Amino acid sequence: MTTVITVCVIVATLAFVALAAQAILTLRQVRYTAKAVEYLALNADGKLTALDPVVSAVQTVASGISSGWFRAAQSIYGFFKK
């Protein structure tokens, strides 16, 4: 009976060591990823301001689509579709 308990303790210890090693590797990767995201966030600020004209053009198109003329055209199209 003591042999079974010894084997179980050894297997449990090896499983715990493997889990700890995997956790360390995962946390190292999370640290590297966080550093990369921080670098990207710091450098993206200047580059995103170049997209302001594109964003304003998309907002203009979106507001035109949600205007009354588009809804009227949709209702007319739906009337003739039926």
Angstrom CA distances, 59 to 10, 38, 52, stand at 64, 29, 11
pLDDT tens, position by position, for the chain (82 residues)? 899 999 999 999 999 999 999 999 999 999 999 999 999 888 887 777 777 788 888 888 777 766 666 677 777 777 777 6
pLDDT of residue 62: 75
pLDDT of residue 58: 83
Residue indicated by tokens 């710091």: 42
In the chain, where the domains are located = 2-81
The DSSP call for residue 66 is T
Let me know: does 66 contact 72? Beta carbons within 8 Å: no
pLDDT of residue 34: 95
Spatial separation of the C-alpha atoms in residues 38 and 56, rounded to whole Å: 27
pLDDT of residue 66: 67
